[in-house]
């Protein structure tokens, strides 16, 4: 069953402006260490950060909280499965909200799709509950 759906469109130019203006303060406030390492290794770091920013916004919408009720930017981190497929790893308030919304006897699976076409980055998140095996 679907527990939540979220989408977001992020302007890569706006993310670049934040990187230029606030530098590490912006990076450290919004992104996990894994996300920072991965984005900084890309030729166009701003596009990578913008996709991750959009993924966090989409996830917060799918959780039904937005960035409030104890859900913070770094509580949602884009990670890749062994196959390379992106998903989100949740900690802190985001993990607590996910546990709260997951029905007993089920486990939550987060599906994430990200794309960019300058000057925009886009992300879709679907949170699904599957019966525990």
- pLDDT digit string, tens, across residues 25-63: 999 999 999 999 999 999 999 999 999 999 999 999 999
pLDDT at 43: 93
Q: pTM of the predicted model, to two decimals?
A: 0.94
pLDDT at 68: 80
For the purposes of burial, counting CB atoms within 10 Å of the CB of 121, is it exposed (0-12), middle (13-18) or buried (19 or more)?
buried
Number of domains in the chain: 1
The answer to whether the beta carbons of residues 75 and 52 sit under 8 Å apart is no
The answer to whether the beta carbons of residues 96 and 70 sit under 8 Å apart is yes
Q: Which domain holds residue 67?
A: 2-131
Binding site, residues?
A: 8, 57
Distance (Å, whole) CA 12 – CA 22:
15
The answer to whether the beta carbons of residues 71 and 65 sit under 8 Å apart is yes
Residue 76: give its domain's CATH number. Answer: 3.90.470.20
Report how far apart, in Å, the C-alpha atoms of 17 and of each of 10, 21, 121 are: 13, 6, 15
Binding site for Mg(2+), residues?
A: 8, 57
């Amino acid at each position: 069953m679907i527990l939540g759906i979220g989408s977001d469109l992020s302007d890569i130019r706006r993310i670049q402006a934040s990187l230029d203006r606030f530098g590490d303060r912006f990076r450290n406030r919004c992104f996990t260490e894994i996300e920072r390492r991965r984005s900084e290794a890309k030729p166009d770091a701003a596009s990578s950060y913008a996709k991750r920013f959009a993924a966090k916004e989409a996830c917060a919408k799918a959780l039904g909280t937005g960035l409030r009720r104890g859900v913070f930017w770094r509580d949602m981190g884009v990670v890749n499965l062994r196959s390379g497929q992106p998903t989100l790893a949740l900690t802190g308030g985001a993990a607590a909200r996910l546990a709260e919304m997951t029905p007993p006897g089920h486990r939550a699976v987060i599906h994430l799709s990200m794309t960019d076409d300058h000057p925009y980055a886009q992300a879709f998140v679907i949170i699904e509950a599957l019966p525990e095996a």
